[in-house]
Structures are given as structure tokens and as C-alpha cells.
Structure 1
Amino acid sequence: MTTLVDIANASGRSFTTTLTRAEQREMGQFMTPPTIARFMAERLVAGPSQYHVRVLEPAAGGGILAAAVVEALLAKAPADRPGRIELMLYELDTRLIPNLRDLCLLMSQSSVLAGVEFDFVIENVDFLMSPLALSGEQLPGLVTISNPPFLKLNKTTDARARLHAYAVHGQPNIYALFMAATARLTAPGGRWCFITPRSWMAGEYFKAARHTLLRHLNIDSLHAFESRTEGFEEDAVLQETVIAWASGRATVEHGANIMVTRSQGGADLATAGVQALPVERVVGDDEHAMFSLPRDATNPFEGWTATLKTHGFEVSTGRVVAFRASEYIREYSGVGTVPLLWLQHVRQQQILWPVQKKREHILASAQSAWMLVPNAPMVVMRRFSPKEDERRVTCAAYLGQLPGDAIGLENHLNYIYRPGGHMTPAEARGLAAFLASSVVDAHFRALAGSTQVNATELRKLPFPPLAVLVHIGEIVGDFPSLNRIDQVVNVALTAQRPIEEATTA
């Protein structure tokens, strides 16, 4: 039997076949597969419904998510079914409106057969510019479901970013504005569900949006798609996506949990594992309020209060921006040049320079001095690593072995140093080994789906006592393998036996 979801899916797919790949990316919207639409809706409306349910899909597309919610509501037992459904669809693209109207008429027919009153309104406008979104006023009985567009906005020239400035910090993405604007509308007892890229969960750019969500919502459940290709496989979207379910803000009881599930894509949803994690393991309690998806309920960093700063270290980003420094960068060494390190020079636990690729030298002069750093021990790491890398952090202890009084670090590198002081070789080796360990790798993979480890996340990372890091550095040796690192670090952190036992090869 053809269902409402099937009809909406066919309509949406028919529309996307008329678009070029470039047009679809410019719109920033990709249709939700039926399996995932039903998965979102069923968890969203689980349990008894209020008599009057308002269903909002703020970026409707083909209407598949609204159709999935109406299907799920009508499939309930009569005692749990709403008496009235009021559907509100917002869609900016005029070409989709006729099919949405036809879909709503079919929903109305299905509702009448189930003994449920049904009303609908379709607004051919940008939801973020609508009076409803701008009001920020709670709507009783509101159930929001959305797969919003995702694309970056200019916060100074885009009216949507200016009007929703409460959710903007740095470079905004439009999907976070949809999340924040609808969160403000969700009353206690209301429900909210979004499928989006995972990037909102961490990073500075989404901090204001996260704060808005947490002011208005209790996050109840999260589902992570761990494949970057299987969430929107029909559209070939390369994103790690996450589904978030929430309820209108009420007092969070002490000891509350968030249900976390994971799958590769839509095909293995039925076998997805389930965790109940304490809220404090998922949502950070500091000013950044970052979300993570740890695999263990216990925190391996429990009790650690030290950070890079308390240990006297700082992390910075390489100062050499290639296109701005082109007049100083050289292909070959010469009078006054010093080494310039790029991504390709930083391997796991090893600096290899030169490698005869790109321009590996930079002129050290009075004009370029501001972009150079002292040639002294530090930890150098890639800001980005390939998704396929075994560890999220690729870093190495640099002990000052290259020639010159200064060196250049290209902007795609981060480096950890001791400002106003001198990092010892043991400190550098210990820090590099700890950051490349499996325990830190698990932390960063839980924190964000992105392959970037930014300076903010490094500054927030809890560290063991400095003496432990130094001890690791004294034991681990030069150019250690990842197995060797884990062996030494695990022994040092658990302190179950003398660290020297880890030196047995």
C-alpha cells in the first residue's frame, strides 16, 4: 500500500532530479530518506499525544518529515491519538508548493478516516524571516521536525543572521538558525527533532546556538550516523550527521540520562546499539556547552582539573598564511631563510623536513619576523587529519633540531609551547604521546564528527598532572608507534604497575 511517506518521497525525489548538483548544493537542502524520516517521527511522537498537536516543518521540501509525523500520530491507539492535528509547512521554493498542497489533502483524508480533525497552512516564505520565527513565542502542543538546509551565511550582510543574532557567534550556518529559532517556540510538553550535520555539537561558531537550545530544550535522545556517506546516500552527501530529539524546557532532574544510539546509516537502524548516558557526560557544563557522544558512561578524565594553561603551556595556530606571505616563501634555501613546516612535514610522532614538496623555506627578516616562532622544543600538530587516519590527532614532539634561530609554521598547523619559558624534551615527548593516545582519540571522536581538532578544544582538554606527562616523555622514546604510546600512556594513567614495565618490548 502506498503511504503518505512514499508519496512525499516520490514528490521530493522527482523535484531533485530536475536540479543540477551545483543547484542542490547552492540550496543546501537534501531530501530525507523514508527509513530515516519514519525513524525520526516515531521517536518524536512516542507516548500519548495532547488533544491538539501543532506539527511544524520549517523547511518542508517534499514534506516527507511532516508526512512521517502525521502517519505516526494516526497509527497510535485511539486513546493515545490526538483529536486535532494542525500542520504548518514553510517552503521557500515555489516549485514545491503544488505537490505539498496535494500531500496535505491526502493527509486530511487519512485523518478524517481516523477520526482526527486536520487543518493545514502552507507558507511560501523563508521560515527564518516569518513572523512566527521572529516572535520567539512558545506555541502549546508544538511538535517540530526538520531537515534544514545547511550552508554558511555572512553574519553582517545576511538579514537572517542579523535577525537571529541571538544564535550567531562567528561564522553562522543556516541550519543552526533553524534549530535555535524553533527551540524558542517549543513550550513545556512540546517536542522537537532535527537531522543535521554534527558540527553544531562543538566548536566556537555554534556556541550561541547551543546556548539557545539548552535555554529552551531538554535534549532527550541523540542518534549518530557514523558513516559519512550512508545518511543521505541517494544524494551523495559527505557529512557525519546526527539526529537530536528534545522536549520543551523543564527542570532537569539530577541523574537524568540522554539516550544515545548509533548506526552506519539507515539500513542498520534496527540493530543500532543503545546507551543511556548521564547528561553531564554528553553536555559540557562550562561556557562552551559542547556536546559529545562518548562510548563509555564513565569519564576517563574524572578528577583531572589541569589544562594546558595550568601546566604553563599555550596552543596557537601557525602564523604563515601562504597567500599573504608569498613574497617571503622560497622554493630553495638561501641567505636568511629558515625552515617552513607544512602539513606534509608532520607525521605521527615525527617531523620530516625537507620532503622536496611545495616551498619549504621562508625568509627571516624584520618584515616577516612576526609570523615566525622561536626554534625551540614544542609539539606540532595537524589541524586537519584524513578521516581514515587511525588517530584524530596527528602530532610530533619537535625538539629544535632544524637549522636557524626561528622557523615558520603554516596556518594548517597548531603548536603547543611554553610562553615566556622553555619546554623540555621530556615535556614535548610526553605531550605528543598523550595527545596521540587512544584515550584522547576517543575523547575527540566523541566530541565532534569533524576531522578538525581546534585550539579551543585543545585548551579545554583535561590533562593528567605534569609529572605524569614528563614521566611518559622520559619512557616513550623517539618516534614511538601508536601501540607503544598506548602501552606507556595506559600504564602511566592507571598507575596499576610501575611505568618501567611498559618498556619491555
Structure 2
Amino acid sequence: MAGLFRPTAADRCRLLDPGAGIGSLTSAFLDRCHPGDLRFFAIDVTAFELDGLLHAELARSLSRFTAHTQLTHEILGGDFIEQAVNRVQFGQTPFTHAILNPPYKKIGSASRYRLLLRQIGIETVNLYSAFVALTVALMAPGGQVVAIIPRSFCNGPYYRPFRDFMLERAAIRHLHLFDSRTNAFKDDAVLQENIIIVLERGARQGEVTVSASTDDGFSDLASHTHPFERIVLPGDPERFIQVPMTLEPNAIERSPAVACSLAEIGVGVSTGPVVDFRLKVHLRDLPGPGTVPLLYPAHFRGLGTEWPKPGLKKPNAIQRNAETEKWLYPNGCYCVVRRFSAKEERRRIIAGAVRPGAFDGTEMLGFENHLNVFHERKQGLPEALALGLAVFLSTSAVDENFRRFNGHTQVNATDLKLMKYPSRAALIALGEWAISTATAPTQAMIDGQLAKLTL
């Protein structure tokens, strides 16, 4: 992280480290300054650390550099968010550099933090994005920020205001991705990829360097430079941040046949409406009188459905009555996608298809909340269209393309809405191919169909 700062002509550095701990990141920055790689006549360090028990060790870490560096430092306890908001409001001397590994914790919509941040135009849902936004706000023009944070800010509606705030005030210079969710952070239960981001306050946006390594050893470091148009796609209303891993466009980018929105093909996607713990009294282990099928991710295998599944440890059915009726869909053909993947799972998007013949003529179906459901105005799809969507979403190219902006275990309906799809006719042709295939199609067979798509 310290090596990602660019030399400047400034002779004085004002470094911010919010959440400094024992000073590991600041020490790395000062180590780089010592041999003259970053040349400053003087360095002022402001280190925020909420835990007073760490202050003595933090002071010792910083004091090591005073012998060979014109260094002054201050260690501030208390709440960084509160103090940073005050600094922004009163226009205190801004910083030229910042290095941070912020805390990760959700911020409640009515919490004190949310209200404080709104005072200076920051709307965000997690401490880590609040720390980054405040740090950007505290930077002088040309100020450089290097942060290691979860990748969840790259997509999804909840982080849209944060993306807007960041992109309007800073240029992205570098993104470094750890390909493994576990190898770089062995002591943590990491459910999403972490990313190092380099920002420059008030700079003109240009090309972005994207690098990746499997783990914290960086032995297999690979790096490419991309035009910004590959990082934030022109015309993307959500401003998702893509992280392309190769210079060459992938099969989705190259295909002129993949250019339609879901709305253009007349399809909607929603999160499964049955939240099982809220309807627990109505759930049944196995189907019986007055019940309808309840479908979980475990009921799907390949492109098909396995229902019921005795011994599943999940209910197979839900009672149909006045309390559950509004959460049910008419029996029909649907495409479904799992909302969550397991850590290090081979695929991020796992799609399947529902066909009414599997449910003995039942009138209604229940889709549990861990599924995303493709439908037409809450009704079923034509069989070939449902299967065509499942085939398209099961291609390796779609999965690779999705991973460019999604780095965690969740696949949201919003993400699926914003993807591009083949035309309705092309999807139906894919579905007809799947219906006519004598055996379950292999991954190679599915991937081969993508190249045959026509407009």
C-alpha cells in the first residue's frame, strides 16, 4: 500500500491515518520516505485511534522515525467520524496523503453516525465507506488516498451515493484485487473480496491500473492498464465499478447479440418473497393436503429441479392460506438464480429453471428468499424463455463478467436487472436448444452456444 503513492513536487507531507492501530500502515509509509523515494522536507502525521490502550505502542512506532526524518505527529483518541465531520465543516488544514484500513460495520439508517455524515453530504451504509468518504473530503487538491476495503462498494444500490461522492471528488488511479477471499486474510472469516484502491482528490480521471494477486505474498502479481470506460461503463446509471482482469474484452463484451435490458425483453426479476422464519408456523417438511411446493436453492441441480427432497433440513412445502397467499407465485416456468454462493465456490451465478410438470398440477409455488426469480409481471415465462435465461446465465462468460463488479457472496436482483442479455428471440432459441438436447448439457456445450447467438 505504501508503494502505491506517487512522488509529488510538494516538500511537506501531511499524512492522515484514521484507525491507526499500532501504526503499521503509517510506519510502512514512513519507511518508504526514509530512503528518499518520497522526498519531503517535513512530514506531519495525524493518527486517529479510538482504542486508548494502543496509544503507547502507536507512539513508540512513530517515534522510531524522528531520528532521521523531520517528523511531527499527533495521536488523537475519540471518534474519527465526529472529529472528521467537524474538520470538514470548519475547513481545517487539509491533508496531502492518507493511508487506511478502516473498520467494517453497518451503519443504521437512523443512527447518530448517519445523521452526522448527512451534515456534510455523505450518505452511506458502512463504517468503511464512511471513513473513505471522510478521508477524501479531508484531502487537499491532488491529495492521495490509499485504502484497503471490502469490494462491496463496487455494486448494489446501497453504495450508489458513496460511489457518486467518491467519483465526483476523486480520480481512481489504481485497483488491486486479491483473487482469494481467504488467503490474504487468513485470520478473518472473509465473505467478500478485499480491494486496495488509490484515489487522487480533484484530479482529472484517466487510465486506471488494475492489478491482482492470489494472496498477500504478491508472488503472482499481474497488472494491466485500462481506460476508465472499462471501469465505469458509459451510460451505467448505477455507476458500478468494474474490475477487468484481462486486457482483452471477454465474450460478453465482444458479442453484439448481448445488448438488451431485462425490460426490453419483457422480463422482471425479484427476490423470492417467502421469508421462512416469518412464516415458520405455515412451513411443512413434506407436501400434504392444503400445501404448495416451497423452493429453496437446494432444490435446483443443473438447469432442473429436484422436489421434494426428503431429509433436506429445509421444508419442502408451505401451507396455502389467507396469510401466505400474497407471497406465492402461480405455477409455471421460471428462471431462478441463487442469491448466495459459498466461499471460494467455482461459480458466482448459479441458475436453474422451474417447469410446472415437476409439481403435479399444483396451482401455486413458493420461492424462498434465498432465490432470485425471473418472471413476467409475477407470472410464469414461456418454457423456452425460462430455459434460455438459465442457459445464458450459466455460461462461463456471464459468470466472469459478473465478477468484474461483484466481489462478495451475494447476487442481488438489482445486479441482475442491470446486466445485458440477448434478445427475447435469441433467449428462446437457447431454450429450444436446451429442450432438444437429449442429455443434460455440459459446461462446454453451454459455453459453445454463446458464440452462436444472433441478434
TM-score for both structures, normalised by structure 1:
0.82
The counterpart of 2:253, out of the listed 288, 301, 305, is 301
Matched, 1:327 2:281: yes
Aligned mates of 1:81, 1:179 — CA distance in 2: 25
Aligned mates of 2:180, 2:328 — CA distance in 1: 39
Q: Secondary structure at the match of 2:149?
A: strand
Structure 2: which 5+ runs fail to align?
none
Identity in percent: 32
CA change 1:235–1:366 in 2 (3 A) is: closer
Aligned mates of 1:50, 1:75 — CA distance in 2: 17
CA change 1:416–1:218 in 2 (3 A) is: same
Once the two structures are superposed, residues 473-499 of structure 1 have per-residue CA deviations (whole angstroms, 9 ceiling, x without a partner) of: 111336422222111223226x9xxxx
**Cα offset for 1:132?**
5.7
**Cα offset for 1:391?**
2.2
Partner of 1:149: 103
**Cα offset for 1:347?**
2.1
The counterpart of 1:273, out of the listed 212, 222, 226, is 222
Q: Secondary structure at the match of 1:108?
A: coil
Partner of 2:88: 135
Matched, 1:62 2:25: no
**Cα offset for 1:205?**
2.0
User: In 2, are the aligned partners of 1:193 and 1:245 still within 8 Å (CA)?
Assistant: yes
Once the two structures are superposed, residues 442-489 of structure 1 have per-residue CA deviations (whole angstroms, 9 ceiling, x without a partner) of: 011111211211101100001122221111111133642222211122
CA change 1:132–1:54 in 2 (3 A) is: farther
Partner of 1:382: 338
The counterpart of 1:398, out of the listed 320, 344, 354, is 354
CA change 1:319–1:65 in 2 (3 A) is: same
Aligned pairs, how many? Answer: 440
CA change 1:326–1:129 in 2 (3 A) is: same
Matched, 1:373 2:329: yes
Partner of 1:108: 66
**Cα offset for 1:245?**
0.6
Matched, 1:205 2:163: no
CA root-mean-square deviation: 2.1
Aligned mates of 1:467, 1:315 — CA distance in 2: 18
CA change 1:343–1:218 in 2 (3 A) is: same
User: In 2, are the aligned partners of 1:433 and 1:489 still within 8 Å (CA)?
Assistant: no
Once the two structures are superposed, residues 390-444 of structure 1 have per-residue CA deviations (whole angstroms, 9 ceiling, x without a partner) of: 3221111212121311011111111101117652111111110001101110011
Q: Secondary structure at the match of 2:318?
A: strand
Partner of 1:167: 122
CA change 1:228–1:420 in 2 (3 A) is: closer
Select between 207-216 and 124-133 the one with higher mean Cα deviation: 124-133
Partner of 2:208: 258
Task: Write out aligned runs for 1:278-289 (5 A).
Answer: 278-285=227-234, 286-289=236-239
Partner of 1:98: 56
Q: Which is bigger in relative contact order (C-alpha 8 A, separation at least 6)? A: 2
CA change 1:93–1:441 in 2 (3 A) is: same
Structure 2: which amino acid aligns with 1:483? A
Structure 1: which amino acid aligns with 2:35? A
Partner of 1:190: 143
Task: Write out aligned runs for 1:39-58 (5 A).
Answer: 40-44=1-5, 46-58=6-18
CA change 1:138–1:405 in 2 (3 A) is: farther
User: In 2, are the aligned partners of 1:168 and 1:208 still within 8 Å (CA)?
Assistant: yes
Partner of 2:319: 363
The counterpart of 2:133, out of the listed 177, 180, 202, is 180
User: In 2, are the aligned partners of 1:168 and 1:205 still within 8 Å (CA)?
Assistant: no
Select between 238-247 and 258-267 the one with higher mean Cα deviation: 238-247
Task: Write out aligned runs for 1:434-449 (5 A).
Answer: 434-449=392-407
Partner of 1:483: 444
User: In 2, are the aligned partners of 1:90 and 1:127 still within 8 Å (CA)?
Assistant: yes
Once the two structures are superposed, residues 222-270 of structure 1 have per-residue CA deviations (whole angstroms, 9 ceiling, x without a partner) of: 0001112222335565542110011112233xxx311000001121x25
Select between 429-438 and 418-427 the one with higher mean Cα deviation: 418-427
CA change 1:49–1:340 in 2 (3 A) is: same
**Cα offset for 1:68?**
1.1
User: In 1, are the aligned partners of 2:290 and 2:320 still within 8 Å (CA)?
Assistant: yes
Structure 2: which amino acid aligns with 1:446? R
Partner of 2:365: 407
Q: Secondary structure at the match of 1:194?
A: strand
Structure 1: which 5+ runs fail to align?
1-39, 112-116, 496-505
Q: Secondary structure at the match of 1:380?
A: strand
Aligned mates of 2:378, 2:31 — CA distance in 1: 64
User: In 1, are the aligned partners of 2:336 and 2:351 still within 8 Å (CA)?
Assistant: yes
The counterpart of 1:428, out of the listed 372, 386, 399, is 386
Aligned mates of 1:375, 1:138 — CA distance in 2: 62
**Cα offset for 1:67?**
1.0
Partner of 1:247: 200
TM-score for both structures, normalised by structure 2:
0.91
Partner of 2:291: 337
Q: Secondary structure at the match of 2:404?
A: helix
Aligned mates of 2:290, 2:167 — CA distance in 1: 54
Aligned mates of 1:435, 1:190 — CA distance in 2: 42
Aligned mates of 1:456, 1:162 — CA distance in 2: 26
Aligned mates of 1:446, 1:342 — CA distance in 2: 27
Aligned mates of 2:374, 2:20 — CA distance in 1: 46
Aligned mates of 2:230, 2:86 — CA distance in 1: 31
Q: Secondary structure at the match of 1:189?
A: strand
Q: Secondary structure at the match of 1:130?
A: helix
Aligned mates of 2:299, 2:186 — CA distance in 1: 35
User: In 1, are the aligned partners of 2:141 and 2:203 still within 8 Å (CA)?
Assistant: yes
The counterpart of 1:351, out of the listed 291, 305, 315, is 305
User: In 1, are the aligned partners of 2:173 and 2:200 still within 8 Å (CA)?
Assistant: yes
Q: Secondary structure at the match of 1:206?
A: helix
